[in-house]
Amino acid sequence: MSLSHPHIEDLRRYISSVPSLSATETAKIERHLSSCAFCSDIVRELREFLEIRQTVDADRIAAEAELLLEKIRTGSAPAVKPIVLFPREKPQKEHTPAGKRMVLAAASPKTEQQDISAVATLCSKDERVLLRVLQDHIRHEYALYVLVEKQENAAHLLVESPLCDLPLMTDEHGMCRTPVGSEMLVETDPFRIHAPGDSFILSNAQADVLAVGNTLQIPTKTHVVSMRCSGRDLEILMQRSDSKAPPINFVGVVGQNMRLVAPCEKNISLFPLTPPFDSLRFLFY
């Protein structure tokens, strides 16, 4: 029996369905396996693992492994995926087409004498997040009110909705509003909620740097943010400081009586903002 065992990578290549060892290397491993119970057991276990792996969802396992690693690193699982809200399950009427169910429809002109009417209540799968959709017939707006287990977390959530092109950001009360458009029908699963993954508040000194046209760099927990004034826009460039950081899809800006949301495309967001910039809060989703 040889005193030196083959490297585990060579054993993996030996049982691989795509041959990558030379005939000489293969013959050497086979001679070793014929007299080494230890390595023979490893090869058997590797083969069993490959057979089992063919029957599992590799993408799901990879996602679960990433969540586990993040939980080990930070002590809490990341909330990078949006919460999907949908109506509670109800028995469908016989005449309702399969897979179709009205969730929300604009009120007819006959109901405009009412001030406020409840339109829909949607909830997350675990029912820990609720979204109430109300219609204000006087202001001709939809009011969306987010309820969560901890009320203080309802502020500055991003609500993706078919009611508007860009997501809406909730205020400190968990409320956001959007004008009522033309008559519409919203199907199941249209609303999604995102919590900010990172944020920072611009200091007075940093605002002064931007105000005179200089570029400002701010390191955050997950990204390095470069900001500069470009014409009448504030340009924000975000680069990951951690390869594991989730991508940023939207950027929010919160100021006094102001909440703006812009998409992040190719790591860049543009906001129609001009100085002064002090006390602005930036949130990444």
Kindly report, residue by residue over 120-147, the tens digit of the pLDDT.
888 888 778 888 888 888 888 888 989 8
Nearest-10 Cα torsion for 21, 27, 32, 33: 80
Confidence of residue 161 (pLDDT cuts 50, 70, 90): confident
Report pLDDT for 130.
Answer: 86
Report pLDDT for 212.
Answer: 86
Over 60: is that where the pLDDT of 260 sits? Answer: yes
Confidence of residue 182 (pLDDT cuts 50, 70, 90): low
Strand ranges (DSSP E) for 187-257?
A: 191-194, 198-201, 216-219, 223-230, 233-240, 250-255
Report pLDDT for 194.
Answer: 92
With CA atoms as reference, report the closest residue to 106 among 185, 177, 164: 185
Report pLDDT for 72.
Answer: 64
The proportion of the chain whose per-residue pLDDT surpasses 90, expressed as a percent, equals 26
Over 50: is that where the pLDDT of 162 sits? Answer: yes
The Cα 283–Cα 100 span in angstroms is 36
Task: Report pLDDT digits (tens) over 185-194.
Answer: 555 557 899 9
With CA atoms as reference, report the closest residue to 235 among 243, 247, 244, 225: 225
Report pLDDT for 137.
Answer: 81
Identify whether the C-beta of residue 248 lies closer than 8 Å to the C-beta of residue 264. Answer: yes
Report pLDDT for 284.
Answer: 94
With CA atoms as reference, report the closest residue to 254 among 277, 231, 230: 277
The Cα 250–Cα 261 span in angstroms is 7
Q: Which of 224-228, 261-265, 276-280 has the lowest mean pLDDT?
A: 276-280
Task: Report pLDDT digits (tens) over 27-51.
Answer: 999 999 998 887 888 888 778 766 7
Report pLDDT for 63.
Answer: 66
Identify whether the C-beta of residue 155 lies closer than 8 Å to the C-beta of residue 174. Answer: yes
The Cα 12–Cα 144 span in angstroms is 55
Report pLDDT for 138.
Answer: 82
Task: State both tokens at 185.
Answer: 């029908």
Report pLDDT for 241.
Answer: 85
Nearest-10 Cα torsion for 262, 263, 267, 273: -20
Report pLDDT for 100.
Answer: 44
What is the rounded average pLDDT for all residues in the chain? 79
